[in-house]
Structure 1
Amino acid sequence: MKTKQLRDRLLQLFPQDQVFTDELSRLVKGTDAGLYRLIPKAVVRVDSEEEVIRLLGFCRTENLPVTFKAAGTSLSGQTISDSILMEAGSGFEFSTITDEGRTATFGCGLTGAAANRVLMRYRRKLGPKPASINSAKIGGIIANNASGSSYGIQHNSYNTIRSMRIIFADGSLLDTADNESCRTFIASHPQLIAEIEQLHNDAVSHEAIRKKIASKFEIKNTCGYGVNSLIDFNDPIQIIQHLMIGSEGTLGFVSQATFKTVRDAPMKATAMIYFPNLREVSNTIIPLRSCQVSAAELMDRNALRAVEDQEGMPGELKSLPEGAAALLIDTSADDEETLLSQMAEIEEKLAHIKTLTPIRFTTDKHLYNLYWNVRNGLFTSAAATRPPRTASIIEDVAFRAESLGDALTDVRELLVRSGYGNAVMWGHLLDGNVHFTVFPDINTPEEVEKYAVFMEELCELVAVKHNGSLKAEHGTGRNMAPFVEKEWGGEIHDLMRRIKKTFDPANILNPGVLINDDREIFIKNLKRIPEAHPIIDKCIECGFCEVNCPSKNLTLTPRQRIVAYRHLAEPEASATKKSKPIQKQVKDISYPLEETCATDGLCGLACPVRIDTGKLVKELRWQQNGRLANRMADIIAANMAGTTSLLRGLMPIPHYIGKSVGYGIMESVTKGLYRLGDGAFPLWTRHTPSGSKRITQNIFPAGAPDAPVAVYFPSCITRAMGGPSFGYQEAEDIPQKMLSILRKAGYTVIIPEEKNRLCCGMAFSSKGFRKQAQKKENELNEALLKASRDGELPVICDMSPCLLHMRETLDKRLRLYDQVEFIHDFLLDRLQFTRQPVSVAIHTTCSSTKMHLEEKLHRVASRCAQKVTLPENIDCCGWAGDRGFFYPELNNSALAPLRDSIRDATEGYSNSRTCEIGLSINSGIAYKSIVYLVDKATT
């Protein structure tokens, strides 16, 4: 079926905004974290079970295979397709908590981190804890039987699932928690039920098969289907439910699942223990399994070497001998006495094992985080230093406790012999589960062949020599499908084939995954990884960045922008575009690629290799800026005082008119102008600020001669448009409120003499005007050094994005504080607070997140208001400086959940005047600067 015909057929079934058949969307949405690339014929986003059933019916009729995709963080090629790709949409992002958090039901589209945030108030959490939990969604966690650093055998999806709703290939729906649904399903599917019962009988009646299955699942195993369900259960419904776990979308679609949750004890302790070699650290696995251990993370010498030079790492890492290894042990309890007892037991059980340093636990929060930073930075550092054009492949094996030492030694020898001696090895010791990285250049046939030989030898070593698991927690996918039979043998592999045939006789659900007769499928359809741009070349396309992105539901995510740019940078792509320069190709897709990127940098915080895709976008904007645009930027930069003065005079006018004719009429007129100008005119709403008053003084003295002194830099935004808007009860602007607070606290305030022409340069930088940005940065730097006496006095800025930019670009002698940080660090003890009888919502801006101000904002707000709400699942607001005026759809998309998340809050507060505009528009309450709340609550 041709693309246009396919699109027309799908549009008869789904709304236009849920069907994607254009070249760009199919490329970027068809990408996952694995090393394979397939381009789907169409991508369909579904938001309900009814839509899933509808799409499956279409695929059955047209005999078109369909692949399910949640977050696309899978590493083994599970969520790619050259047919129909089905994305789980926001309709599946829901949760229901029962039994005081002991059980919880989640939609398949909710991330693991979001689920844990809901459970946090009950001191509970999900059992599975994959490294991708911030991005991975419930559907993917189930489909891959993900586990992670928690003791996976006990707390994976298989062992914590209580019920699920499943949609099968024939469109039927089964709710395993509903007895009537189960009876109906059994009655309507007699052949399937009979085959499930026969599979169960064949597995349990054949002693050798039953023993092998039981033995293989004593350790982590996600290689092939979860055939342990055939011997663990008699009830066909329970067998079906547990077969779905780890089935990678090949048996059906799980729309929601109910889990038994795990206690998240509040008191935690950790110990970093160093061993002379991998064998010694492997000897700890059996004694540790008899202790109360939350996690036991293994790190080899290469792993420790990868992070030892990073800032904040423990100094002892550099002194460790060659071949050494480390173990990070974590234990937790509900009270101090129990925690101390657990620590003592662990030390006692490990006393006979040789270590390089004594075992010492710590409950110190700083040390605790420091040790976990070592562990969490391993993959980051290793992947960031890999050679250009190479893929980053994480293999994932598991061994029995008694053979772990020998097995790890053999794996390390194989890596060295195969030319991957720089591989970093780490893992979850309690499960005998070890990960390691290899970095093949999959752009060349020679390197692909080298990788293929390595995989053949690895599978022989793991599955045959040491009877281990070829895939412990990353799933089979295409990567390990050819080797499933090697691990399980012909008889059990035949059981797996029968399982697939039973559930999906037409083979339309994710074919080629998990069961595949092509012995070379693991080296086919490999991604090409060109050298596209130094900013993004280290990207491994894992998708961890996507969850924080404000444009993720509007245009592209950071991963998708990188995939698109890499495609344009490939010579083959350029040839198909008649050799257009890449700048021209970028311009052709500028709206999704560049114009709707907020450049907030949150993607860099989530990225394992710290890629800030916003920096690439700024680079593209710099390349696209023409002579006229640069001239206009020069004029504004040189005339900042006039620009702010003009805006100060213009901003109140629409409010005067709005109050006269009605805000509704005024907004209708301004929306019409915005549409007529096609983005040339900014969109004005009732929440757009009015102008600020001109600041005429440079010094505001306190009454006492020995009063503390601070420098206050009102940003150009608050000098021009820091005034109130619709919903404000106060008439004062932000600078007036800031000065009021400082005056109450007894401070003498200095404002830089040339304040009216000053700007931090961020507005120019975000648009790619580098020269103009540097000019304003230099001017501000000189003025603040003079006002602060070369950094002696603290400097306060009233816009968190501006303050962050100042910290990144100005003289390090300057002591720069955001308004929230200064109030928290200097004023809480100098002001008398009276909690106001209000419920308020607060918003942590992107810049505040980067500066780690979340807790300080919450503490300040909590001193002022009786109830403080931090809306869940709200990250960047998407206003992005002035982008919200010209691309309001970005702001609306980013804040779509906000109105339902503010709960009973009647007021909102943040620390960026522009962000507060979009927050007000999308919440239904007026958001203001936090200084308004502090001023109201203090004397």
Structure 2
Amino acid sequence: MSTAVDPGAWRDLKAALAETIPQARLIDDPLRTLAFGTDASFYRLIPRLVVRPHSEEELQTVLAECRARRLPVTFRAAGTSLSGQAVTDSVLIQLGQGWRGHEILDNGRAIRLQPGVIGARANALLAPFQRKIGPDPASINTCMIGGIAANNASGMCCGTAQNSYRTVRDIRVILADGALLDTADADSVAAFRHTHHELLAGLERLSAETRANEELAEKIRHKYRLKNTTGYALNSLVDFEDGIEILKHLMIGSEGTLGFISAITYDSVVDEPQKAAALAFFPDMGTTCRATTALKRSPVSAVELMDRAALRSVQDKPGMPEVLKALPEEAAALLIDVRGNDDDELAARMQAVQQMLEGIQTLEPVTFTRDAATYALYWKIRKGLFPAVGAVRETGTTVIIEDVAFPIERLDEGVLALTDVFQRHGYREAILFGHALEGNLHFVFPQGFEKPGEVERYQGLMDEVAQLVGVEYGGSLKAEHGTGRNMAPYVELEWGADAYALMWEIKALFDPENLLNPEVILSRNPTLHLENLKPMSAADPAVDKCIECGFCEPICPSKDLTLTPRQRIVIRRELARLEALGERASDDDRMRMEALWDAYAYQGIDTCAATGLCATQCPVNINTGDLVRNLRHERNLGQAGAARLLGRHFSGTTRIGRGALNMAGAARQTLGKNLMAKATGGVRRLSGDRLPQWSPALPRSAPIRVLKREAAGEPGRDKVVYFPSCATRVFGASFDDTESRSVMEITLALLKKAGFEVIVPEMIGHLCCGMPFQSKGQFEEASHKARELNRELLVATQNGRYPVLCDTSPCTLQMQAYLDERLTLTEPVSFAHDHLLPRLSVTPLKERIAVHVTCSSTRMGLSERFVALARACAQDVVVPADINCCGFAGDKGFNTPELNASALEGLADQVAGCSAGYSNSRTCEIGLSQHGGIPYRSILSLLDRASRAP
């Protein structure tokens, strides 16, 4: 490992790689190596160098330079791995931009994917063909194809029939020596057979020997009747005789220890559109397991088992069925999912399931539901089990989730035996659930390693679990999460000496120098699983429940620029650990802490959009923006007076803003866009980036006078209180847009057309929801502005008698969090969809338009209504993929413009050919216009253009 390497080797490696790879993608500073080196497991190793290659050629260069210096390398995709297979203290090769290519084949019957494509994105690409990829891990919205294939991840519905091993058609792989093989390319295969004859001959020899060893061959077949990811895919040696096919299938589940999968072609599977589910309760685990065995012969899509402790962990959460609280202590449940291509097929399958359960005792009649909300609730119960443990664990502990598989015919006794093991070792908080049809069970429990005796207690548990599952029951110690470091010491125990020796032979054929992810899958170290345990220091109550799963990362706007929410928390925890050392801290500790804080100011604090979108994906509902705002509060305490001055003179502040826009507009007219960009860019650089960045999309100033006109609509009609945000009171229409009206003008015109009487609050120029202050950590002034607005809106609405329309979605979300519950607070999408569409005659425009669903709209659950509103107004609507947050974040687009640029990379290509884009936040629309190459406007403009009064 790297600890035995001459430190000069790292400098030499970086210098050599810098000749072909930009320095920005060669990372060795203390902050980012720790942040990027952290995965979802409970292990910590900090890489010496993180490399982000963008192409196969760059990756081959990295492998060659590392091989020349005998430096181990580890490949990382999304880092959702749970067993320690994606951490290293050597060279970490991290996927990112450049690995997201895809190609639909055979009219959707197959799909070719690069390893950086997120699993859910692959399914979205196949959805128009009513197909999907076979693997369906619970982390599919986050994990990448590279990790899915490298771990042979399966999930709730795919079982063993549709996992990566069974559905791989072709593979493109780079081996340790840099050789590239594409099994879909006949020329590549022919060349590889010539250059790597010895490797292929070795695999074919192992296959022949294994098939000749009847006892070993039968053991392998038995093991893969179960879900099994322990060790290498030895079934490839009995399933295939040709070396290419053996190699292709050995790569599946090899966890980056045999080579790098640079592309994989999956045979897709049918995605049956009709779905139903039943939540069946049984009096005890034995009855539950007998029901599972019966259902194995029925046409079910998934059967998920949950023990009483698992159900108890979620029974008090909002929306859970009341029946959960009344279940007896011995009870257990099955979530039974049935799917079909049409209504008749679904009905027939549901009836078949009911027949299979006849004669098996249940606590309540088994009833299927097709109601989408109830169906989603049932799956919410199942998917909420892992985070439920994470949310209630003691601060400073981690959450361990392991997965085993029993032969289905012994599932009931295996469950009881496993439960007894947990009780005897003091793990009474453990919950048990899993994919029952495959005998696949997950056990989840909180675990701390800091207190004396805890490591030994954990070792005792794992030793006994391994003996019970792997030996006594002939099951799998790892059913679908990959072997990793946590089970590497137990591979021989499960498989036996002959099969284990066979695995080492396979490793030697592919990687004779043991440089690809060493110590993962195979290890001679019997205590590997007890070493390099991750500290989980308390950092801030806002984030202490984080389990570092990484589910938040795909939607974070700074993910390709600096840090993700998970990584921000990782660094804050490390800082807290160092701070807690106090006088015990060494000089190195103090220097490290100082360096981390210095780097964290930009990497962690300044480049966080703090929109809270991460909370929508977090299994324990953490909004990392809360952490960042707390840090900004601490940093900006000395600016509280300035914030108070701005807040108490807010009308003047907005007037200054409009005046600055007028000056910028005049300069633009004089200098032209190009010269203006150069001049302002130079001034910004001279200021040390303290001055805002001018943008060609910077609009005109808004005509505030329009609010002083007579109220729109006839007296006596329905009334609405219109609160234009400070952003729309400052920013008017864009210079380059044919829509010359401000958002305020559009809103007033549309409300008048729909027959509303409009009320504008008094002191409108002075009012603000407080969000500009809240986002900078100026909590006191934010609260003051919210109280002011609350008072004026109560007056204007006659204590909530009339609804309030705010024309900016993020401000509405802020208001909903801090203003009086008597107020009915709406934003453009919800108000237009629910109140304007029914009053107007709408003719969809014959245009191709784009929509951007803002972070706040997503958090308010408006995504579907947003798209529905757009489709009611235009015939062709584009919703760009993977553009979740624009990163403009109020004023970040001016003060940290690189965040906006990074978040919107690729937008222009996706909206090419659109006449315009539509959103519901004026500041977001500025950044979207600049980076999308088309004008972005308020969604109310689209409705106004497409409608007329009835």
Which TM-score tier does this pair reach, normalised by the shorter chain? over 0.9
Given the alignment, which residue of 440, 443, 449 partners 2:450? 443
Given the alignment, which residue of 423, 430, 450 partners 1:423? 430
Given the alignment, which residue of 339, 342, 346 partners 1:335? 342
CA drift at 1:592: 0.3
Q: Within 5 A, what are the aligned runs for 1:739-754? A: 739-754=748-763
Partners of 1:478 and 1:646 in 2: CA distance? 59
Q: Within 5 A, what are the aligned runs for 1:112-131? A: 112-131=119-138
The residue aligned with 1:720 is 730
**1:583–1:851 Cα change, 3 Å:** farther
The residue aligned with 1:663 is 673
Moved more, 397-406 or 723-732: 723-732
Q: Residue deviations 1:861-883, cap 9 Å, x none? A: 11221210000111111111101
2:768 equivalent to 1:759: yes
The residue aligned with 2:817 is 808
The residue aligned with 2:798 is 789
Partners of 1:581 and 1:785 in 2: CA distance? 52
Partners of 2:712 and 2:189 in 1: CA distance? 76
CA drift at 1:11: 1.4
- Tell me, yes or no, if the aligned pair for 2:706 and 2:744 is still in contact at 8 Å: no
Paired-residue identity, %: 46
**1:839–1:228 Cα change, 3 Å:** same
**1:212–1:584 Cα change, 3 Å:** closer
The residue aligned with 2:318 is 311
The residue aligned with 1:600 is 611
2:650 equivalent to 1:640: yes
CA drift at 1:281: 1.4
Q: Residue deviations 1:815-862, cap 9 Å, x none? A: 111111000001111111122221101000100010111111111111
CA drift at 1:703: 5.2
Partners of 1:756 and 1:521 in 2: CA distance? 64
The residue aligned with 1:200 is 207
The one-letter code matched in structure 1 to 2:604 is L
The one-letter code matched in structure 2 to 1:744 is K
- Tell me, yes or no, if the aligned pair for 1:686 and 1:725 is still in contact at 8 Å: no
Partners of 2:600 and 2:707 in 1: CA distance? 48
The residue aligned with 1:687 is 697
CA drift at 1:111: 0.7
CA drift at 1:556: 0.8
The one-letter code matched in structure 1 to 2:321 is P
SS of the equivalent of 2:704 reads coil
Q: Residue deviations 1:569-620, cap 9 Å, x none? A: 1145954456589799635530001000111111111112221111100000
Moved more, 693-702 or 815-824: 693-702
SS of the equivalent of 2:52 reads strand
Partners of 1:869 and 1:832 in 2: CA distance? 23
The residue aligned with 2:871 is 862
CA drift at 1:10: 2.6
- Tell me, yes or no, if the aligned pair for 2:226 and 2:406 is still in contact at 8 Å: yes
2:888 equivalent to 1:888: no
The one-letter code matched in structure 2 to 1:783 is E
The residue aligned with 2:355 is 348
**1:44–1:526 Cα change, 3 Å:** same
Given the alignment, which residue of 550, 553, 563 partners 1:543? 550
- Tell me, yes or no, if the aligned pair for 2:751 and 2:758 is still in contact at 8 Å: yes
The residue aligned with 1:798 is 807
CA drift at 1:698: 6.5
The one-letter code matched in structure 2 to 1:59 is C
**1:652–1:377 Cα change, 3 Å:** same
2:896 equivalent to 1:879: no
SS of the equivalent of 2:442 reads strand
Partners of 1:584 and 1:10 in 2: CA distance? 25
Partners of 1:353 and 1:379 in 2: CA distance? 29
The residue aligned with 1:625 is 636
The residue aligned with 1:411 is 418
Q: Residue deviations 1:281-328, cap 9 Å, x none? A: 111233322222222111111111111111111111111111211111
Q: Provide the alpha-carbon RMSD of the alignment.
A: 1.6
Partners of 1:705 and 1:725 in 2: CA distance? 33
Given the alignment, which residue of 476, 487, 502 partners 2:483? 476
**1:173–1:696 Cα change, 3 Å:** closer
Given the alignment, which residue of 403, 407, 420 partners 1:396? 403
Partners of 1:584 and 1:169 in 2: CA distance? 35
Partners of 1:208 and 1:582 in 2: CA distance? 57
2:837 equivalent to 1:837: no
* Structure 2, unpaired ranges of 5+: 1-6
2:387 equivalent to 1:380: yes
The residue aligned with 2:328 is 321
Moved more, 600-609 or 503-512: 600-609
Partners of 2:590 and 2:179 in 1: CA distance? 50
Partners of 1:280 and 1:699 in 2: CA distance? 73
SS of the equivalent of 1:392 reads strand
Given the alignment, which residue of 229, 240, 253 partners 1:246? 253
CA drift at 1:7: 2.6
The one-letter code matched in structure 1 to 2:742 is D
SS of the equivalent of 1:726 reads coil
- Tell me, yes or no, if the aligned pair for 2:734 and 2:740 is still in contact at 8 Å: no
SS of the equivalent of 2:476 reads coil
CA drift at 1:656: 3.1
CA drift at 1:78: 0.3
The residue aligned with 1:936 is 945
Partners of 1:795 and 1:853 in 2: CA distance? 17
The one-letter code matched in structure 2 to 1:647 is G
The residue aligned with 2:662 is 652
SS of the equivalent of 1:116 reads helix
2:30 equivalent to 1:19: no
**1:33–1:798 Cα change, 3 Å:** same
Given the alignment, which residue of 908, 920, 923 partners 1:899? 908
The residue aligned with 2:4 is none
Partners of 2:781 and 2:712 in 1: CA distance? 37
Partners of 2:387 and 2:889 in 1: CA distance? 28
The residue aligned with 2:95 is 88
TM-score if structure 1 supplies the norm length?
0.98
Partners of 2:745 and 2:683 in 1: CA distance? 33
Partners of 2:707 and 2:91 in 1: CA distance? 65
Q: Residue deviations 1:736-767, cap 9 Å, x none? A: 10011100000001111121111000110000
SS of the equivalent of 2:337 reads strand
CA drift at 1:626: 3.6
The residue aligned with 2:3 is none
- Tell me, yes or no, if the aligned pair for 1:869 and 1:902 is still in contact at 8 Å: yes
Partners of 1:623 and 1:877 in 2: CA distance? 27
- Tell me, yes or no, if the aligned pair for 2:713 and 2:758 is still in contact at 8 Å: no
Q: Within 5 A, what are the aligned runs for 1:49-60? A: 49-60=56-67
The residue aligned with 2:506 is 499
Partners of 1:294 and 1:822 in 2: CA distance? 39
Partners of 1:858 and 1:490 in 2: CA distance? 58
Q: Within 5 A, what are the aligned runs for 1:97-246? A: 97-246=104-253
Partners of 1:688 and 1:331 in 2: CA distance? 53
2:307 equivalent to 1:292: no
Partners of 1:199 and 1:349 in 2: CA distance? 44
Q: Residue deviations 1:11-66, cap 9 Å, x none? A: 12311111001111111111111111111110100111111111111111111111
- Tell me, yes or no, if the aligned pair for 2:100 and 2:113 is still in contact at 8 Å: yes
The one-letter code matched in structure 2 to 1:489 is G
CA drift at 1:444: 3.2
- Tell me, yes or no, if the aligned pair for 1:443 and 1:529 is still in contact at 8 Å: no
How many residue pairs match? The answer is 937
Q: Residue deviations 1:518-563, cap 9 Å, x none? A: 1000101111121222122212211111111111111111111111
- Tell me, yes or no, if the aligned pair for 1:583 and 1:624 is still in contact at 8 Å: no
Partners of 2:924 and 2:71 in 1: CA distance? 45
Partners of 1:553 and 1:421 in 2: CA distance? 41
